[in-house]
Amino acid sequence: MLAEILLLLLAIPLGIYLSVKASDELIDGRKWFVSLFVIALGAAIWFGLIGNREVSYTSSFIAIVSFISYVKSF
């Protein structure tokens, strides 16, 4: 459990790093980050409810990275 939480916390610096390195793509892709965030968050909740933890953690990681990238695009 601790390893999964630590890996999810690694999504925060990765999202910040990607937003710094790809700042020109962030402006054009804002709508895609929102849709990616919504889909990944929905998948994380769904797979968490049915008991597939690995896919839930992966979707949560994607949701965190896309949310941070979207916030940093402004």
Which tens digits make up the pLDDT trace of 34-44?
Answer: 999 999 999 99
Q: Rounded mean pLDDT of 7-23?
A: 87
The tally of domains found in the chain comes to: 1
Q: What is the pTM of this model?
A: 0.87
At 59, the pLDDT band (50, 70, 90 cuts) reads very high
Q: Greatest CA separation found in the chain?
A: 38
Domain range for 34 is: 2-71
d(CA 6, CA 38): 23
Phi, psi of 22 (to 5 degrees): -120, 45
d(CA 25, CA 63): 18
Estimate to the nearest angstrom the gap between the alpha carbon of 14 and the chain centroid: 10
